[in-house]
Structure 1
């Protein structure tokens, strides 16, 4: 829970006593690969904090294909903001890609805590803005360049994801087919081998 304490101390909004109070309301959940923290069509009623592992966020397109929209990494929060605040069914799912440990708090508990710890609202706003900015930054590169360039950018900026996330999810995230990604990886491997020789 140390990582969660550090995240809640972000910006010094909450004092140490408030951080401990808020942390105490979180419960630990464990997920195996393929298990869901949030399912499509259900209402997001929890704020999650990813202590270890990787989650992927995905939607289902009109052809019923799962499309990975982003990854949630360690020390990041997982919440489908629109569903959480509007009390509407989520169009997005959060699924464990690896073994995951998530600390989560129920929405009603969060509301109660916000009344006891008024500065929690300010922290929520800061964390929400940071999460949105990260998501925009993470996805910006997807709109430019060829498939190979996107994969190289992904490798350079998210090496831990490249090592731990199955190829089909990376391909879906990069908006290319698994076959294209396989060809790109093979080409890069041959290029690396030629360079070493």
Structure 2
């Protein structure tokens, strides 16, 4: 729970009473490796804060191929923000790449915290802005790079993830086949 509180405090002030309220309304849960935390077609009803492990956001294209959009590691919030805010079914899956532990804040809890803690909405707005900027910064540079450069950029930007995720997911994220990724890895060693 302290990971969540420390993260929130980077974005705004909370007094001890507010911290205690957040802790009392939050739940810790786990997901086993390869299980889906969230499936497409469902409306997200909670926001989670990942405290241990890696999750990935993926979807199926019109050919039925599974495409990894991005990975999320510890100390990050996870939710399909558009579906959550609009109360509409998501088009994305969220899957545990490793065993994961996370803190759950239901929609009701988020609403309660918004009405009770005066700094809550500005804190959440700053976190959302930061997350969206990071998402754009992750995806945009990859569009202009060749496969080798995309892989090297991934290694530079996410060195802690490279050895924790399966090659098939990484290849999907990079937009290449697994055999192409294996060849690239062999050539840069």
TM-score of the pair, normalised by structure 1: 0.92
Q: For 1:80-106, what per-residue CA distance to the aligned partner results, in whole angstroms no more than 9, with x for missing partners?
A: 111111110001111100010011111
Alpha-carbon offset, residue 61 of structure 1: 0.6
Q: Which runs of 4+ in 1 moved over 4 A?
A: none
| Cα pair 2:47 2:79 within 8 Å, conserved | yes
Q: Unpaired runs of 5+ in structure 2? A: none
Are positions 1:117 and 2:131 aligned together?
no
TM-score of the pair, normalised by structure 2: 0.95
Which residue of the partner structure matches residue 187 of structure 1? 187
Larger radius of gyration: 1
Q: Which moved more, 1:93-102 or 1:135-144?
A: 135-144
Q: How does 1:78-117 map to 2 (within 5 A)?
A: 78-117=78-117
3-state SS of paired residue (2:115): helix
3-state SS of paired residue (1:34): coil
Structure that is richer in helix per residue: 1
Q: For 1:115-135, what per-residue CA distance to the aligned partner results, in whole angstroms no more than 9, with x for missing partners?
A: 111321111111111110111
Q: How does 1:48-197 map to 2 (within 5 A)?
A: 48-189=48-189
Which residue of the partner structure matches residue 45 of structure 2? 45
Q: Unpaired runs of 5+ in structure 1? A: 190-197
CA distance in 1, matches of 2:42, 2:70: 19
